[in-house]
Amino acid sequence: MTQSPYVLVLFYSRHGSVSEMAKHIARGINKVNGMEAMIRQVPDVSDTTKMASPALPENGSPYCTLEELAGCSGLAIGSPSYFGSMAAPLKHFIDQTSTLWMTGQLIDKPACGFTSASTMHGGQEQCIHSMMTPLLHHGMLWLGLPYKNKELISTQSGGTPYGASHLANSTYEISLTSDEKVLCEAQGKRLAETALKLKK
Ligand X SMILES: Cc1cc2nc3c(=O)[nH]c(=O)nc-3n(C[C@H](O)[C@H](O)[C@H](O)COP(=O)(O)O)c2cc1C
Residues of the shown chain interacting with ligand X in the complex, contacts defined by CB under 6 A: 13-19, 80-84, 116-119, 122-123, 168, 172
Residue type, 145: L
Element (H, E) at 166: strand 163-167
Q: Of all residues in this chain, which one has the CB nearest to ligand X in the complex?
A: 122
Report the nearest approach of ligand X to the CB of residue 58 (Å).
15
CB 123 within 8 A of CB 83: yes
Q: Which is nearer to ligand X, 46 or 98 (CB)?
A: 46
CB of 80 to ligand X, least distance (A): 3
**Helix count (H) and strand count (E) of the chain?**
7, 6
| CB of residue 82 to ligand X, shortest distance in Å | 4
- Of 81 and 105, the one with the shorter C-beta distance to ligand X is 81
C-beta of 26 vs 168, nearer to ligand X? 168
* Residue 199: C-alpha distances to residues 40, 41, 136 (Å): 21, 24, 18
d(CA 91, CA 184): 22
In angstroms, rounded to a whole number, what is the distance separating the alpha carbons of residues 172 and 161? 23
- Shortest reach from residue 176's CB to ligand X, in Å: 11
19 or 73: whose CB is closer to ligand X?
Answer: 19
